[in-house]
Structure formats: structure tokens, C-alpha cells
Structure 1
Amino acid sequence: MSMKKYLKILTLVVFAAILIWTFVFLYRKSRPVEERYDIVIPRTATIEKKTVATGKVEPRDEVLIKPQIPGIISAVYKEAGQKVRTGEVIALIKVIPEMGTLNAAESRVNVAKINAEQSKQDYDRSNELFQSGVISKEEYEKARTQYNQSKEELQNAQDNLEIVRDGISSRSAQYSNTQIRSTIDGMILDVPIKVGNSVIQSNNFNDGTTVASVANMNDMIFKGKIDETEVGRLHEGMPITLSVGALQEKKFGARLEYISPKGTEENGTVFFEIKAAASIPDSVFVRAGYSANAEIILDSRKDVLSIPESSVEFSGDSTFVYLLKDSISKPPVFKRHAVKVGLSDGINIQVLSGLNSKDKVRGNKIIANK
């Protein structure tokens, strides 16, 4: 057989194969598609309508520790993460005295010394005269009182000089303003100052320099926001489930204790702030500022008849399902049937009437060839 005749026969065979495949493909495409459905049986379940608020977990009270006098930090004894007790020293301030005030304090000490020496001489003289019976007891007691007053004034002047110069006096060292102490029991969250930093005290014109922030980490709250469309269903005392993503989605209980009376608008939507007291076990350490989701159950129906919401047909104010009437025929026969539904959780929906636990309802469609 010549090569030319062989190629001709091969071409005809290929053409015939393509033609047959085309007819087969068109035939399969033209076949009617059978509509098949899942069969759903109503079951008893608990339907809960929930909402989720996003926010963070933080201490209920965070206290900012500020100095009572201006100066320079000379020592820092604590760092973030350490626990402190009330009155425990966090840092030490070195006072930088103002020269005019320092000179006035030194002058006061000098004057007090002169007065004290003069009062002592008067007292010694009065004491000798009193012992000799020259002066009365009244005059002697006046001289003694004057001497005691001059000694006290000298001590006060010396204390004032020490306070102006050093920020502390020897008689009141335990109450020194140079020692910055914690005002509560808790954990130090932050120490934003370093040795050598200048600090000022709080006054009418300035908040003062924060030396440390301390909080009780055993009293944590969830602080978040919720949409205005759902805030009307909330009330104080509602149980909440917190999910903290940083702790591998661990869940903690909480109880709603605050709903803001005023909303704030964000991107065209009004949100209301909520706060919930968190119940966190002692074995779990939750850091301040962890992001968390609060799952709130707005409504609940326990042990009610339910079906998947996808199997319900909504038509205006009416709802329908398709009951299985004949499962033998191909395809199965379904009948449209009116039902009354209740609460939905977005997946399942409560059936109030129209179905029982023995009915079979058409579910989602499954498309397959015959």
C-alpha cells in the first residue's frame, strides 16, 4: 500500500472518530438532568441567636503613678511585669533645688541658730536667778518656754533646708516624696522612665510625668463595641463567653455589667461600648490588651423542633417547606406545605407548627446525571 493511500485512510478514520465523539458528547449534553435533594428529618435541638462583639481584655483599673515633686530619676527599682505591694518603692528622685529657695532656707537656719543661742543664754540666766530666789517661777517658765520654741524653730528650719536641698528630711524619711511608691497592690504594666529622666509633679497646668502604671491583673474586664441594631436586646447581667485568640482560642466566662448610653459613629454605623467582668482562672495569665471576641446569646429556645433554614421557603409573611409524599417514584414527589417558624440561629430554625418528627422534608439540591 502506497504512503499516500495510507494517509488518506488514516485521515478518514480520525475524522470518523471525531464525528462519533461529537455525537456522543452532544447526546450526553442533551440528556435531561435529574434534580435530587437531600432528605431532612425534623429533630429536637436548642436554637440560640447570638451576636459577637469585638474588643480587648484589660484591667478594670490601671493606676498611673506620678511624682509629688519635680526632679531627676536617680534610681529605678522595678520593671514591667513585676508585682508590687502598696507602699513599695518603684523609683527614687534626686531633687534639683532652686537657688533662691535654697538661699532663703539656709538663711532661715542661720537666723534660727542665733535665736536659739540667745534663748539658751536667757534660759540659763533665768535658771540661776530662779534657783537663787531672785525671780519668780512664772518668769523662769517663760524663759524655758522661749528656749524650747527656739529649739523647735531651729529644727524646723533645718528640716526645711534638707527638704529643699535633698527632697527629704531626717525626721520624716519614711514619708519622703523622693521615694515614688506604688499606691495599690498589683502588677507593673509599664515603666516609661529611665535613670536620668527629668520628671515633674501633677498640677493645674500639667498632668505630671508618669513613672509607672500599675494594675490589679486579678480583676479583668472585656471592653468592646456592639452594633446599634443589637444593643436593644442586651441588658446588664447577661452571660458572655470570651474567646481570646492569643491563648489558642481559650474561652472564659464573663457577665455584662455596662452598656454605654451614648453611641459613637464609625464608618456610618453607630456602635455602643460594653463592658463585662471576666472570670479568668488563676492558672491562666491574660496580658492587658489581648484582643478578644465576646459571644452573647440574645435569645434561646431549648429542646424545640427544628430543621435547616435552607430547607424553608419564605414568601412574604408566609413560610413553606416541601414534604416528601412519594419516595419510590423517580424523581421523588414533594408537596409544598405551609409551616410556622420561630427563632433562627442562621443555620437551623425553630418549627412552631406544621411539622412533626416523622415528616421528611426536602433539603438542599443535589445535581446528578441519570
Structure 2
Amino acid sequence: MADSMARATGRDPLDASAPATQATPEAERVRPEEAQPGGTRPASAAPPPRGGASAQGPRAAGPPPGRGRESLEQELARVGTRRWLGRLGVLAIVAALVAGIVVWRIRTSPPPPPRYVTGDITTGDVIEVVQSTGQVKPLTEVQVGAQVSGRITKVYVDFNSIVKAGDVLAEIDPTLFGAQIDSNQAQLEAANASVVRSEASLGTAKQRLERAKKMVAEGVGSQADLDTAQGAYDVALADLAAAKAQVAQLRAVLRSSTTNLQYTRIFSPIDGVVISRAIDPGQTVAASFQAPTLFVIAQDLRKMRVLADIDEADVGRLREGIEADVSVDAFPGETFRGTVSQVRYSPLNQSGVVTYAAVVEVDNPDVKLRPGMTATVSIRSSEAKGVRRLPNAALRFKPAPERDKDGKEIKAPPLEPLPPKKGRVYVLTDATPGAEKIEPRVVDVGITDGIFTALLTDLGPVKLVIDENDGPSTGGRGRGPRLF
């Protein structure tokens, strides 16, 4: 029946490329008067072809044998060609988009970064400093002790008390010392009585001696009596001298006892501030061998000193009168001005490290610096103002070793060592991005402050290549090894 329908429509049933005519409901509906027994429609009932063509024409006769398969292959070939053409069109569009993006990225991408970090030669001050640490101390610090032993009865001052010279700081029980004075006075009075008795005995002996001499001169006395009288006189004279010596000794003992009594009152020897107190009332002090320290008094806290330990390699750069800056952790960011007043010759050897003490006097008007603080001292050993200077990072720069195309390092000849006060810098001679060139220059240098160094050679307006890890720069960045 399919063949009949194909012949009736003039369409090859094997031709897949030919569009099938969709039957409408009206075409598929069979009229009652045209229905045949068995449900088949006679060929004469088929609708006439369009254009008035007779069913007896060539189209109604059907295609010749083999034509349907050839038409199918042609249609399939045409469909495949159209698909490949569509795919090629899509690929062309994608390729055009990619090419446009690449061109846009090339045009809008930034230039390659510089291969070197550069710095400028500037004009400014270079201050060479010697760094050290030390301990803050008062200019004058007095340790006040007890010169006699005894029990503390009163303490009149405390920490931070302001005292004047002669003020009483504390008292020791004076009872025993008063009794000692009374005993010494009694002994002195007894010694004075012995002197009087010795003087009387001497007078008697003198009279007897004179009488004996007279009797011997008159011939009525013996020489023995004269000798006895002379001996008695000499003894009396010696007794008087001994008695007077005893009096002098007892007077000295009395003065000592009186002085000890005075020592029971402890006085301030200077004007200042009490920065240490080591006793309390009721405490017993013993001054048998060494006077114990009871108080420490600083003369004036508005003027302090710092004992800075200077390395032996730097001590030759210091001299009296140069300025110094002092800072402490208690006041970060604040600097106290001072002056070196003394560089001591006495060495300090600690574990084989030799240092020398430099005394830096510091003004302390607000009494911010306190005794015992650890201070950082920057002593200005040399100054150069308004000089041409270069960053120290330029003196530390060393170019990366060159490499061949295989990445192997090319060994360069070693640089000659430089004499003192000489330095080697690298100058940027070609600033083409990505293809910069540098060359070394030997320059004369002066003092340094750790960041800048005074430049004594005129290099002109050049760009210095500096170490990328430190130092002030004007742009650029470091680079990796150069490949050739």
C-alpha cells in the first residue's frame, strides 16, 4: 500500500531527502461513498495531481529502478556538507575571537618590569654615630651608713624624700652611749686627782732634794742622803707625767664616746633625694667591721649620667664634648640630649670582650629618667652637613652571575679589593625596560650613618643600582639570573 501511495504522490519511498507531505485530517478521512469492501481505496479515487497532470503521466508511473537510492545518497552528501560548513564557520568565529583577545591583551598589557632597583644621589646630612647601651645613674650618689651599732628607734625619711644636708634621717638608741660618756667622765676626774697628788708629791721631793744638796754643801750631810732625795724627786716627776698622760687618754676616750653618741643620729651629707631605704624602726644594725648602708641619696635627679659600654673598635672615634642622644624603653620615641663628659681609660673585660666606659651627662628637667634604667646611647662621632650622599644599599649591590643559554652560571673574574675610603657602585647606563645595562664605578666615600654614605666623587646625574632587599629606591624591582 505504501508503494501505491508513493506512486500516487510521485515520491520515492526510499528518498529520505524528499520532504514528506503531511496528510491533513481532511485528506485522510474516507468519504462513505468512496469506501470499498475490505477497507481499501481504489486507485481511481486518488486525487488528481497538482497542475492537472494525469495519473497516467510519467510521475504516476513511478521512478525508474535505482533512482531512489541515488537520491538518498545525494541528500545525505548535501546534509554532511552543510554540517561541515557550519562547523567550519563556528571554528572560524572562535578563532577570530581568540585572535582579537590576544591582540587586545598585547596592546593593553603593561611594559615588562625593570630588572634593577635604582636609587638617586641626594643632598643632605650624614651623621656618624656610635651605638651603645648603658645604665642611667645620678651624677652624685651617696650611700649613707651607720658608724655605730645599736637598735634603730626612729626613721624620719622614706623613698623619694627630698632632704637637705644636715637633716636627720634616723636615730639609734643612745642609752648605752650616754652611759659610756658618764663612765669616761668619772675616769677623767679620777685621773685629774692623780695629777694633783703627783704634783704634791713632786713638790715634797723637790724640797727634800734641795735640803740634801745644802747639807752636803755645808759638810753636814752625806752623799747617800743626797742620792736618795734625788731619786725620790725623779720618781715624783715621772708620776706626775704619767698622771697627766692618763688624763689626756681619758679625755680622748670621752671625746670618742661623745662622738659615738652623735653617731646615733644619722644625718644627710648632701642635698638630694632618697632613692633607697634599707632599715625600719626596731631593726638592729651592726657596724663592727663595715658600716652597713642604710640609705642611698642622689644629689640631683634633674641631671643624670649614663655609663655606656663602648667597644674597643669604636673608642678611638670618641672624644669629650661631643653630643649624644639617649633613649629608654619607658618613653618610646622620646630622645634626651646629652654630652660625653669622660671616656675612661680603664678597660672592662667580660668574657674576652673588651669595652671602655664613656660617661654621658644628660639633662633631665622633667625627672623622667630614673636611676637604674637601661638606656640606648647614640654618640655623634662625626657630622657632615649638606653633602652629596648615596644609599648604602648601592655599595652593597652585587650583580647576579650571568648564565648561558643552558642556564649554567658563567664564572666572572673576581673584583679587585678596594682600599679604605673607597667604594664600588653600579650605574644604570641603559634604562630600556627589560634590557637594562649597568657598569661599575669606583668612588671615594666618607662617613656613614648606616643608611647613607657621604660621596666624595662627582658622578653626575646617574641612577645607582641598589640591593633590592634594603635601601631607599626610586622604582623598579629585583631581577633573577640573566640568561644568555
Asked if Structure 1 and Structure 2 have the same fold, meaning a TM-score greater than 0.5 normalized by the shorter chain, the answer is: yes
Q: Residue 28 of structure 2 corresponds to which residue in structure 1?
A: none
Deviation of the 1:213 alpha carbon = 1.4
Indicate yes or no: 2:314 matched with 1:235: no
Q: Residue 76 of structure 1 corresponds to which residue in structure 2?
A: 155
CA distance 1:197–1:326, change in 2 (3 Å): same
User: Which of 346, 371, 392 is equivalent to 1:309?
Assistant: 392
- Give the superposed CA RMSD: 3.5
Indicate yes or no: 2:389 matched with 1:286: no
Q: Residue 21 of structure 1 corresponds to which residue in structure 2?
A: none
Output the TM-score relative to the length of structure 1: 0.66
Q: Residue 58 of structure 1 corresponds to which residue in structure 2?
A: 137
User: Which of 168, 183, 193 is equivalent to 2:279?
Assistant: 193
- The residue type equivalent to 2:353 in the other structure is T
Write the distance in 1 (CA, Å) between the matches of 2:190 and 2:423. Answer: 99
Q: Residue 16 of structure 1 corresponds to which residue in structure 2?
A: none
CA distance 1:260–1:105, change in 2 (3 Å): closer
Write the distance in 2 (CA, Å) between the matches of 1:367 and 1:100. Answer: 90
- Give secondary structure in 2 for the equivalent of 1:97: helix
CA distance 1:222–1:193, change in 2 (3 Å): same
Q: Which has more strand, going by share of residues?
A: 1
After TM superposition, the structure 1 stretch with the greater mean CA deviation from structure 2, 232-241 or 259-268, is 259-268
Contact 1:240 1:253 in 2 (8 A): yes
In structure 1, the gaps of 5 or more residues are 1-32, 115-155, 169-175
- The residue type equivalent to 1:78 in the other structure is V
User: Which of 264, 267, 279 is equivalent to 1:181?
Assistant: 267
CA distance 1:111–1:337, change in 2 (3 Å): closer
Write the distance in 2 (CA, Å) between the matches of 1:100 and 1:90. Answer: 24
Instruction: Report percent identity of matched pairs.
Output: 25
- The residue type equivalent to 2:273 in the other structure is M
Write the distance in 2 (CA, Å) between the matches of 1:311 and 1:103. Answer: 86
Contact 2:306 2:359 in 1 (8 A): yes
User: Which of 452, 462, 466 is equivalent to 1:363?
Assistant: 466
Write the distance in 1 (CA, Å) between the matches of 2:479 and 2:325. Answer: 43
CA distance 1:52–1:109, change in 2 (3 Å): same
The structure that has the greater radius of gyration is 2
In structure 2, the gaps of 5 or more residues are 1-111, 194-249, 399-414, 469-476
Q: Which has more helix, going by share of residues?
A: 2
Output the TM-score relative to the length of structure 2: 0.51
User: Which of 305, 308, 312 is equivalent to 1:224?
Assistant: 308
CA distance 1:78–1:368, change in 2 (3 Å): same
Deviation of the 1:350 alpha carbon = 2.0
Contact 2:113 2:433 in 1 (8 A): no
User: Which of 450, 462, 470 is equivalent to 1:346?
Assistant: 450
- Give secondary structure in 2 for the equivalent of 1:310: helix
Deviation of the 1:94 alpha carbon = 0.3
Contact 1:70 1:95 in 2 (8 A): no
- The residue type equivalent to 2:321 in the other structure is G
Deviation of the 1:96 alpha carbon = 5.1
Contact 2:326 2:338 in 1 (8 A): yes
Runs of 4 or more off by more than 4 Å in structure 1? 98-103, 105-112
Write the distance in 2 (CA, Å) between the matches of 1:361 and 1:57. Answer: 43
CA distance 1:264–1:350, change in 2 (3 Å): same
Write the distance in 2 (CA, Å) between the matches of 1:238 and 1:42. Answer: 28
- The residue type equivalent to 2:275 in the other structure is L
- Give secondary structure in 1 for the equivalent of 2:369: coil
CA distance 1:67–1:325, change in 2 (3 Å): closer
Indicate yes or no: 2:354 matched with 1:270: yes
- The residue type equivalent to 1:291 in the other structure is T
Q: Deviations over 1:320-360 (max 9, x none)?
A: 3332233235322223333332222232222211412x222
Contact 2:117 2:478 in 1 (8 A): no
Contact 2:171 2:264 in 1 (8 A): yes
After TM superposition, the structure 1 stretch with the greater mean CA deviation from structure 2, 44-53 or 244-253, is 244-253
- The residue type equivalent to 2:271 in the other structure is D
Q: Deviations over 1:192-211 (max 9, x none)?
A: 1121222245xxx7331222
CA distance 1:309–1:223, change in 2 (3 Å): same
CA distance 1:236–1:360, change in 2 (3 Å): same
- The residue type equivalent to 1:311 in the other structure is A
Deviation of the 1:235 alpha carbon = 0.8
CA distance 1:248–1:320, change in 2 (3 Å): closer
- Give secondary structure in 2 for the equivalent of 1:353: coil
CA distance 1:333–1:215, change in 2 (3 Å): same
- Give secondary structure in 1 for the equivalent of 2:390: strand
Deviation of the 1:54 alpha carbon = 0.8
User: Which of 300, 311, 324 is equivalent to 2:428?
Assistant: 324
